[in-house]
Amino acid sequence: MSWRRHLKHWLVPHKHNDHRPHLIRAHGLAIVAVLIVGLQTTALAVRPAAARPPGHQSIGAVLAYATDITPQELFDQTNQQRAANGLPPLQLDSRLNASASAKAADMFQYDYWAHVNPVNGTQPWYWFTQAGYSYSYAGENLAKDFDTTAGVMTGWMNSPGHRANILNPHYVDVGFAVQNGVLVGGQTTLVVAHYGAPASAAIAAATPVPSARPQAQPIAATAGEPTATPTPAVSATPSPVPTVAPVAPIVKGQISAGPSAPEPHSYSLFAPLSLTKTLNWPSLISLGLLLLLFSIYFVTHLAVWRKGLKRWRSPHYKAYAVASLAVLGLAIILLATSGFGMVG
């Protein structure tokens, strides 16, 4: 038997297979199920250690955390976006990595997803100072429920506030955290990005160059930048350290009197990012298999109805036809939307 006849027996309903393609029989469905679970398991095995969830030995954990997001990929893609917009790259700062990790852990501990802890009112900037990062400018981006780094970055770049943080020319450093856990009763992956410019850089920029005759006038300041007021000269020696006024943090890429948390953005089939960006390769292949099954079921039920075969007259078969298409359709929608997360 040629491979074409084999393929026809497996995929196309006709009289020689009793209008029941082998792929939608018990042994065919078992093969599809093994393939889907095998894809997820293989994907976890080859996934970078930074993207693996804790307790990933179980099949349940494999399917719960189908994510390929890593801090290194977030860092690389952030600088790619900055380079594409003519901006210098950010430096990966260990202190901001620590502050982002602490913020992610706090969200899991207190079961919330927001810039400000609703239980004790902790602001995002608290984690900057706790990690030892004294800043002149600071910002925070959040994301959850995404499957891929590209999905996170696309979500951020499609949101004006998050895009402004990524492309803010004031920022010098960045840190990332990617943590898996249970939030509001569901398993998820949280992504936190902390952007900053150290206070020392602002002081250095505001410090006047010493001269034989120091200027007594204060240096003019621009909106949103630190102001520097030199100590009036009382001798021929200028004051070495000017007084620097505090600077309000930048949140969502905007200079404001204080931190603000804009409304989160969610993505779905009705406002898609891109399936190829938000779904990792095991999920894309699994989606393809489900679409193939749906197509075969649809063509088979249509052929049985049009040919008026005996089994179509059975109410049980009609119920089976409707149920099979409904279940597969729902599975396809759920899988397709599983990579669309939220940014905040």
Q: Which tens digits make up the pLDDT trace of 227-263?
A: 333 333 333 333 333 332 333 343 333 332 233 344 5
Which bin fits 337, alpha (ψ -120 to 50), beta or left (φ > 0)? alpha
Report the alpha-carbon distance of residue 123 to residue 141 in Å, rounded.
13
Structure tokens at 150: 């590209």
For 262-291, the pLDDT digits (tens) are: 456 777 666 777 787 788 888 889 999 999
Burial 225-246 (b: 16+ CB within 10 A, else e): bbbbebeeeeeeebeeebebee
Are the CB atoms for 260 and 338 separated by under 8 Å?
no
Cβ-in-10-Å burial (0-12, 13-18, 19+) of 112 comes to: middle
Structure tokens at 58: 């179980």
Report the alpha-carbon distance of residue 93 to residue 178 in Å, rounded.
15
The pLDDT tens digits along the chain (344 residues) read 588 888 888 999 988 888 899 999 999 999 999 998 888 777 666 655 545 544 444 433 334 444 778 999 999 999 999 999 999 999 999 999 999 999 999 999 999 999 999 999 999 999 999 999 999 999 999 999 888 999 999 999 998 889 999 999 999 999 999 998 888 888 889 999 999 999 875 544 444 444 443 343 333 333 333 333 333 333 333 333 333 233 334 333 333 223 334 456 777 666 777 787 788 888 889 999 999 999 999 999 999 998 888 899 899 999 999 999 999 999 998 888 878 888 88
